[in-house]
């Protein structure tokens, strides 16, 4: 019963649930994709799908940066930095992600200098504090974290700090959505748009999804009420045969995005011709590389990258889960060989990965809002 | 990594206007304001912080809601761990978050 008291406006939650039932045509099956891993986490945590009628299905999208990173990139980053004069710095989320020869934490146990940083600015600080070493920051994330890496590169260049570089794995969300819409086995009715990515890129980049692909998009906040309201807004558009971009998360997301963040990214990054995504394959212009004007601070331009390509463990069906073709529990390894404690695939590592979310909240059947409210 | 952590601007660094001390539930750390340079926050303003960089200005009420969301998602501890980690500083030198606010 704990969650119910903490919940902002439980009566509004019930109202939103009723409105969803009223708007959903019982003769139609709705498939709505939440793009962002933060939304996936919230949906499982709060048991929101129990508040939806059976014909309104939420499909989990590719918006978990750890999950979509192919293993070859982890191997590349680790092998580059596996030298006594290097420090491998990365966010905590990366530390348990398996590479072919182990995770960063396992490399650390074998003697590599691996450090958790909570900000790219701290990777820069590590470089300042360790002038005899080269600090490689293993950068991951969508547009939420890319601007911070960008400003860190600007600062490194301004300081002329030579013992610092970024191994850039930043990806961009729009081409992934395009790839999903182009995928023949995927039929979607609309999108719950990412909240924090949109703080940076604004709402305009989604225009083509509404105008050209004819699918409504609602940029959403992360509270249960936000997500349910976004589903209401999507169903209302679908009922009215509209497809437009709406912003449910106006209290944080400006329509135009964050211009300073976009400028920092434009200064330091350009689009890669293509980049491999776990589960989605190669997607053109879907990731960022560091501009040649910052070559000195780009691990890939400065050092020789092995360019490893690794196929995922055959039994793990991360790709199908990532595309929403399979539910997490339909994977053969789910909950047996692959658990949050001993992850085989990356979707089990991050709390934003749909497998970890499903394992923690569905598999273990905690008290959800819906069940608590019903009691 | 994708956590958006609400914090209150306490003071702007007198030597570097793009650095500010923020307070997140009683823990104070320096964050980077470079991504808000078009409309810089002032002491007393609330911001959402991603990986050590303030990304957007928000209202005090929205900051409280965001902290509540993190709590409900079970991410409040992770958020505080992240904030305490900013600047590579360790726990001993700095106060723990006020008890009760994370439960």
Q: What interface predicted TM-score (ipTM) does this complex get?
A: 0.90
Residue A328 lies in a domain: yes
What confidence tier does A4 reach under pLDDT thresholds 50, 70, 90?
Answer: very low
Q: Is the pLDDT of residue B103 over 50?
A: no
Domain coverage including residue B57: 5-87
Is A69 a member of any domain? yes
Judged against a pLDDT cut of 60, whether residue A373 lies above it is answered with no
Task: Determine, yes or no, domain membership for B70.
Answer: yes
Global pTM value: 0.92
Nearest to B31 by CA among B90, B96, B98, B87: B87
Determine the 3-state secondary structure of A127 from DSSP. Answer: helix
Distance from CA of A214 to the nearest CA of B (A): 29
What average pLDDT is seen over chain B?
88
**A295-304, A357-366, B41-50, B86-95: segment of lowest average pLDDT:** B86-95
pLDDT of residue A317: 85
SS (H, E, C) A90-108: ECHHHCCCCECCECHHHHH
Question: Considering its fold, how many domains does chain A have in total?
Answer: 1
| pLDDT tens-place string over residues A151-179 | 999 999 999 999 999 999 999 999 999 98
Distance in angstroms (rounded) separating the CA atoms of residues B19 and B30: 6
> Per the structure, how many domains does chain B have?
1
Residues of A in contact with B53 (CB under 8 A): 119, 121, 147-148, 151
Q: Is residue A59 part of a domain?
A: yes
Given a contact cutoff of 8 angstroms between Cβ atoms, the answer to whether A346 and A318 are in contact is yes
Residue with the bigger pLDDT between A280 and A243: it is A243
Question: What pLDDT is stored for residue B74 in this prediction?
Answer: 87
For A96-131, how does the pLDDT look when each residue is reduced to its tens digit (9 = 90+)?
Answer: 898 999 999 999 999 999 999 999 999 999 999 999
Express as a percent the part of chain A with pLDDT over 70.
95
A95, A116 Cβ separation under 8 angstroms: yes
Angle at A230 between CA A227 and CA A234, to 5 degrees: 140
Query: What pLDDT, on a 0 to 100 scale, did the predictor assign at position B90?
Result: 53
Residue B49 lies in a domain: yes
Residue A120 at interface with chain B, using a CB cutoff of 8 Å = yes
Examine the pLDDT at B12 and tell me if it is beyond 50: yes
Residue B43 lies in a domain: yes
pLDDT band at A200 (very low <50, low <70, confident <90, very high): very high
CA distances from A17 to A41, A114, A218, A355, A369 (A): 19, 47, 17, 25, 12
B99 falls within a domain: no
A39: domain CATH number is 3.40.50.11740
The model's pLDDT over A207-256, given as tens digits with 9 standing for 90+, comes to 999 999 999 999 999 999 999 999 999 999 999 999 999 999 999 999 99
Instruction: Write out residues 330-369 of A within 8 Å (CB-CB) of B.
Output: 351-352
Which DSSP category does A188 fall into?
Answer: -
Domain for residue A100, yes or no?
A: yes
State residue A310's pLDDT score: 86
Mutate to test the interface with A, among B13, B35, B60 (most CBs of A within 10 A): B35
Q: Is residue B101 part of a domain?
A: no
Of B50, B58, B85, the CB nearest to A251: B58
Confidence at residue B97, expressed as pLDDT on a 0 to 100 scale: 56
pLDDT at B1: 64
State residue B99's pLDDT score. Answer: 54
Q: Looking at the domain assignment, is residue A72 inside a domain?
A: yes
User: Mean pLDDT, to the nearest integer, of A46-67?
Assistant: 91
Which residue has better confidence, B93 or B54?
A: B54
Q: Is residue A375 part of a domain?
A: no
The answer to whether the CB atoms of B35 and A223 lie below 8 A apart is no
Give the DSSP H or E segment for B36. none
pLDDT surpasses 60 at A370: no
Residues 214 to 243 of A: which have CB under 8 A from any B CB?
222-224
Please indicate, yes or no, if residue B37 is contained in any of the structural domains: yes
Cβ neighbour number for residue B82 with a 10 Å cutoff: 23
* pLDDT score of A307: 87
Distant-in-sequence, close-in-space partners of A289: CB < 8 Å, separation ≥ 6 = A168, A269, A270, A271, A272, A298, A300
Per-residue pLDDT at B58: 96
- What is the 8-class DSSP label of residue A362? I
pLDDT of B96 = 57
A69, A140 in Cβ contact below 8 A?
yes
Residue A293 resides in a domain: yes
Q: What is the pLDDT of residue A322?
A: 80
A374, part of any domain: no
Which of A105-109, A281-285, A362-366, B82-86 shows the lowest per-residue confidence on average (mean pLDDT)? Answer: A362-366
Stretch B23-48: mean pLDDT: 97
Which residue of A5, A36, A135, A148 is the best one to mutate when testing the B interface, meaning the one whose CB has the most B CBs within 10 A?
A148
CB B59 within 8 A of CB A251: yes
CATH at residue B70: 2.30.30.140
Quote the pLDDT of residue A315: 79
Please tell me the distance in Å from B11's CA to the nearest CA on chain A.
Answer: 19
Residue A92's domain comprises 1-303+318-366
């Amino acid at each position: 019963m704990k969650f119910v008291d903490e919940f902002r406006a439980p009566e509004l939650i019930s109202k939103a649930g009723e409105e969803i039932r009223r708007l959903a045509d019982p003769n139609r099956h709705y498939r709505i994709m939440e793009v962002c891993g933060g939304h996936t986490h919230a949906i499982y945590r709060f048991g929101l799908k129990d508040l939806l009628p059976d014909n309104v299905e939420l499909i989990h999208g590719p918006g978990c940066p750890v999950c979509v990173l192919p293993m070859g990139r982890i191997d590349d980053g680790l092998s580059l930095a596996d030298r006594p004069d290097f420090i491998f710095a990365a966010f905590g989320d990366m530390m348990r992600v398996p590479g072919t020869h182990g995770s960063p934490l396992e490399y650390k146990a074998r003697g590599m200098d691996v450090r958790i940083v909570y900000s790219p600015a701290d990777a820069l600080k590590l470089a300042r504090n360790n002038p005899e070493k080269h600090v490689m920051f293993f950068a991951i994330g969508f547009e939420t974290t890319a601007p911070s890496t960008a400003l860190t590169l600007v600062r490194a260049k301004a300081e002329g700090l030579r013992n610092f570089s970024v191994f850039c794995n930043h990806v961009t969300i729009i081409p992934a959505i395009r790839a999903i819409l182009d995928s023949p086995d995927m039929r979607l009715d609309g999108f719950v748009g990412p909240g924090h990515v949109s703080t940076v890129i604004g709402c305009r980049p989604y225009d083509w999804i509404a105008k050209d692909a004819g699918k409504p998009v609602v940029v959403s906040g992360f509270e249960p009420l936000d997500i349910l309201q976004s589903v209401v807004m999507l169903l209302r558009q679908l009922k009215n045969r509209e497809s437009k971009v709406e912003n449910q998360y106006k209290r944080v997301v400006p329509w135009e995005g964050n211009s300073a963040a976009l400028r920092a990214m434009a200064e330091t990054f350009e689009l890669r011709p293509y980049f491999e995504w776990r589960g989605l394959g190669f997607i053109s212009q879907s990731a960022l590389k560091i501009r040649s004007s910052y070559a000195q601070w780009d691990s890939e331009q400065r050092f020789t990258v092995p360019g490893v390509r690794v196929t995922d463990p055959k039994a793990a069906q991360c790709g199908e889960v990532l595309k929403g073709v399979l539910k997490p529990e339909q994977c053969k390894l789910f909950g047996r060989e692959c658990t949050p404690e001993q992850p085989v695939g990356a979707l089990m590592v991050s709390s934003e990965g749909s497998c970890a979310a499903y394992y923690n909240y569905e598999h273990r059947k905690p008290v959800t809002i819906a069940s608590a409210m019903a009691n | 990594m994708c956590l958006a952590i609400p914090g209150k601007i306490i003071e702007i660094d007198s030597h570097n206007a793009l650095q500010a001390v923020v307070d997140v539930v009683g823990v104070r750390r320096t964050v980077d304001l470079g991504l808000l340079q078009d409309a810089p926050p002032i002491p007393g303003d609330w911001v959402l912080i991603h990986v050590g960089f303030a990304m957007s200005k928000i209202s005090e009420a929205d900051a409280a809601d965001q902290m509540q969301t993190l709590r409900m998602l079970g991410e409040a501890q992770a958020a505080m761990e992240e904030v305490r980690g900013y600047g590579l500083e360790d726990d001993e030198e700095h106060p723990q978050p006020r008890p009760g606010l994370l439960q």
